[in-house]
Amino acid sequence: MFTKILIANRGEIACRVIKTAQKLGIKTVAVYSEADRDARHVELADEAVLLGPAPSRESYLVADKIIAAAKQTGAQAIHPGYGFLSENEDFARRVEEAGIAFIGPKHYSIAAMGDKIASKKLANEARVNTIPGHNEPILSPEEAVNIAQGIGYPVMIKASAGGGGKGLRVAFNDKECFEGFTSCRNEARNSFGDDRVFMEKFVEEPRHIEIQVLGDSLGNVVYLHERECSIQRRHQKVIEEAPSPFISDETRRAMGEQAVALAKAVKYQSAGTVEFVVGKDQSFYFLEMNTRLQVEHPVTECITGVDLVEQMIRVAAGLPLPFKQEEIKREGWAIECRINAEDPFRNFLPSTGRLVKYQPPAANLEQGTNTLVGAAYEGGQFGGVRVEPASTKAARSRCSTTR
């Protein structure tokens, strides 16, 4: 087991990793920008290294600085958290080449699942259900219309490198398809530097349900049931719960088994999430795989009693998974709410304001991680707050975690 790890992130997820490391008796190293000098994750860690100026491109996104910080402090492993470099195959590879363990999947697994077109082909080869569609890059709006007519409307036009709702359009007829292809391609080029676009059938009345998987270096892979993530705004999750109130045990098992098959196909090690879209008849289709820890991982921890961060660390150290599929329990119910700074009187547009009171709820997760719920902002754990919105009267919001 490692004696010291570096967390290449900040905010809530850095605090989350530090807590599990402390439980395991592992020393931690925080990294920070000049703007985060007094941040909580810096205070909690045993050591801290300044990366550079406030812009993330000059600090948290500079792989050389992070690897140098690990070498300087003697950290044997790096946990990337989520966001920033967590799904960057080049960063994972460079960490490994530097003789430092990457607490996450191998770089080749990140690469295989990072491209939506390539990942769908791999899913097909692994006999995972995929949405009917055209998985090759589409070159023109005229070609897009012809393909859409063959698939049958409605269709989804998607950027291969897309994410977070960017590079995504739904078309119900030829005109919307023609225009949607052009705007989707332009957005993909501007947002991701990759204008490849593909198309698939749009599942009506869909639910977004994802399966948590864990794999080790010995080829063992298990699934830890599902998270229901269907309550979204602008393609961004707002409420996540586990288990899903919608799917049957039969569907749950089938989805889990297909998620495991896909993970094994890419020799997946560490924690990962296989996302599915589920129709009203409980038919389900592979969407994508997130090769990192998810913001909503605590709801899975609540119903299974498994500390996912601990398992990531154990796997990176070469240890086998300590349980088999049949030993993973599912009991209780958990809901996570993402609290966003929004103005409900202006269609929930972003609205910043002044935080005037902070009251954290009592941590009460039974498995001992003391993690609260993931936050939709970089500020760390959240609880009961009173805010003064910029454009509305003072509003009050309270939230707490329950099992």
Domain-wise residue ranges, the chain: 4-103, 132-201, 207-397
> pLDDT tens, position by position, for the chain (403 residues)?
999 999 999 999 999 999 999 999 999 999 999 999 999 999 999 999 999 999 999 999 999 999 999 999 999 999 999 999 999 999 999 999 999 999 999 999 999 998 877 898 899 999 999 988 888 899 999 999 999 999 999 999 998 887 667 789 999 999 999 999 999 999 988 888 888 999 988 988 889 999 999 999 999 999 999 999 999 988 889 999 999 999 999 999 999 999 999 999 999 999 999 999 998 889 899 999 999 999 999 999 999 999 999 999 999 999 999 999 999 999 999 999 988 888 889 998 988 878 788 787 776 665 433 344 333 333 333 333 333 333 333 222 222 332 2
Close Cβ partners of 251 (under 8 Å, ≥ 6 residues apart): 278, 282, 284
Q: What is the DSSP string of 340-359?
A: --EEGGGTTEE--EEEEEEE
Count of beta carbons in the 10 Å neighbourhood of residue 379: 14
CATH number of 132-201: 3.30.1490.20
Nearest C-alpha neighbor of 207 from the set 300, 283, 129:
283
User: What pLDDT was estimated at residue 252?
Assistant: 97
Domain 207-397 has CATH 3.30.470.20: yes
Nearest C-alpha neighbor of 395 from the set 343, 350, 349:
343
Q: What is the DSSP string of 173-229?
A: SHHHHHHHHHHHHHHHHHHHS---EEEEEPPSS-EEEEEEEEE-TTS-EEEEEEEEE
Count of beta carbons in the 10 Å neighbourhood of residue 386: 14
| Cβ atoms 228, 243 nearer than 8 A | yes
Sign of CA dihedral 94, 39, 233, 167: negative
Residue 171 parent element (H or E): strand 166-171
| Cβ atoms 202, 169 nearer than 8 A | no
| Cβ atoms 102, 336 nearer than 8 A | no
User: What pLDDT was estimated at residue 56?
Assistant: 94
Eight-class DSSP state of 317: T
Which pTM was predicted? Answer: 0.79
Eight-class DSSP state of 330: -
Do the domains at 4-103 and 132-201 have one common CATH topology?
no
- For domain 4-103, the CATH class is alpha beta
Catalytically active residues are 288
The residue written with tokens 């990942």 in the block is 119
Output the CA–CA distances (angstroms, integers) from residue 170 to 114, 157, 195, 276, in the order listed.
22, 6, 17, 17
Across the strands, what pairs with 207? 278
| DSSP β-ladder status, 353-359 and 284-290 | unpaired
| Cβ atoms 338, 374 nearer than 8 A | yes
